[in-house]
């Protein structure tokens, strides 16, 4: 078992009289793809925002890379924040900026590099997520939903994070687009050695790419295990979700893919290497912080 890169202990969140989380514990292990799922109102996005420091919480403690966030000064905290990327729903891009300018924002804020190098790095990130070069000059409202999500992912990857959060990454996508985005996430996870956290309700994504699933219910995490094991956990919401028609269909489809394409993991890894090398060669710009593919 890998060591936790993030830990949540005893988390409590409330909005007035409404208690969202109570005594919630969760460890996020290095290098895994972890899905956080739960019913509507279970507090999935609130948990993500609490972990990221975007949502004040009323109880508990949160650690990043072994350091308790509440005890850190501004300089130490900002240094850790650079190691984490976030892709919000629908990309959450700045509408007045082009895709290229959106991706350049974190680089301008944190990197200290010159404008020309920042521009080329931003174009590298755009290529890395599978967008064509001309997408960089477009404004978000001119893009399809899937392209906006990829642009948001490019911005999340701008600083070469070690941990990447996704908030409902496949929401609003058709089945083909959702499957393609899942493959992109799996590719980047392996190629860049990322730790990935998916806030999702998409069981197809859970079975396709996730190592573990954390289920939010009854104000805390009621179960954490592999997708194949979590479906048999004795809890009413888990039974309804995983043993219902959509859950059984997602599991059956995932098993069918594994049976028909047993080497799919190797092909994804090979594709990741190619996807990384091609834009680097095209731009002829070395990125000293880009993690090597092995």
Delimit the domains of the chain by residue range. 32-45+161-283
> For the chain, how big is the Rg over CA atoms in Å?
19
pLDDT tens digit sequence for 181-234: 999 999 999 999 999 999 998 999 999 999 999 999 999 999 999 999 999 999
Domain 32-45+161-283 has CATH 3.40.50.300: yes
pLDDT in tens, the chain (294 residues): 567 999 999 999 999 999 999 999 999 999 999 999 999 889 999 999 999 999 999 999 999 999 999 999 999 999 999 999 999 877 689 999 999 999 999 999 888 888 999 999 999 999 999 999 999 999 999 999 889 999 999 999 999 999 999 999 998 889 899 999 999 999 999 999 999 999 998 999 999 999 999 999 999 999 999 999 999 999 999 999 988 877 777 777 777 766 565 444 444 444 444 444 444 333 333 343 333 333
- Give tens-digit pLDDT for 219-238: 999 999 999 999 999 999 99
Model-level pTM?
A: 0.84
- Helices marked H in 32-174: 44-52, 74-81, 99-110, 115-128, 145-156
What strands lie across the sheet with 67-68, from one edge to the other? 18-29, 4-15, 59-64, 67-68
**Six token digits for residue 113:** 């590099």
**Helix/strand/coil percent split, the chain, to 5:** 50, 20, 30
Q: Which residues of 90-101 are buried (b: 16+ CB within 10 A; e: fewer)?
A: bbbbeeeebbbb
């Amino acid at each position: 078992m890998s060591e936790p890169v993030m830990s949540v202990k005893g988390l409590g969140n409330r909005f007035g009289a409404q208690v969202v989380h109570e005594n919630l514990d969760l460890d996020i292990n290095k290098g895994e793809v972890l899905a956080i799922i739960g019913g509507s109102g279970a507090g999935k996005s609130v948990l993500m925002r609490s972990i990221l420091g975007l949502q004040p919480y009323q109880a508990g403690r949160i650690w990043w890379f072994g350091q308790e966030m509440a005890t850190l000064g501004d300089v130490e905290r900002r240094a850790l924040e650079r190691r984490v990327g976030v892709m919000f729903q629908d990309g959450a891009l700045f509408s007045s900026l082009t895709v290229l300018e959106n991706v350049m924002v974190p680089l301008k804020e944190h990197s200290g590099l010159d404008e020309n190098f920042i521009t080329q790095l931003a174009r590298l990130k755009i290529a890395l997520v599978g967008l064509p070069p001309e997408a960089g000059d477009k404004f978000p409202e001119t893009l399809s939903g899937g392209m906006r999500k990829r642009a948001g992912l490019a911005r999340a990857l701008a600083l070469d994070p070690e941990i990447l959060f996704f908030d409902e990454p496949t929401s609003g996508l058709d089945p083909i687009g959702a499957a393609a985005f899942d493959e992109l996430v799996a590719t980047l996870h392996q190629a860049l050695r990322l730790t990935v956290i998916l806030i999702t309700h998409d069981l197809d994504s859970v079975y396709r790419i996730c190592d573990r699933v954390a289920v939010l219910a009854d104000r805390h995490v009621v179960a954490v295990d592999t997708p194949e094991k979590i479906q048999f956990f004795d809890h009413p919401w888990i039974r309804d979700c995983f043993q219902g028609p959509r859950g059984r269909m997602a599991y059956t489809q995932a098993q069918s893919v594994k049976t028909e394409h047993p080497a799919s993991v190797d092909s994804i890894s090979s594709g990741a290497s190619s996807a990384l090398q091609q834009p680097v060669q095209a731009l002829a710009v070395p990125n000293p912080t880009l993690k090597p593919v092995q």
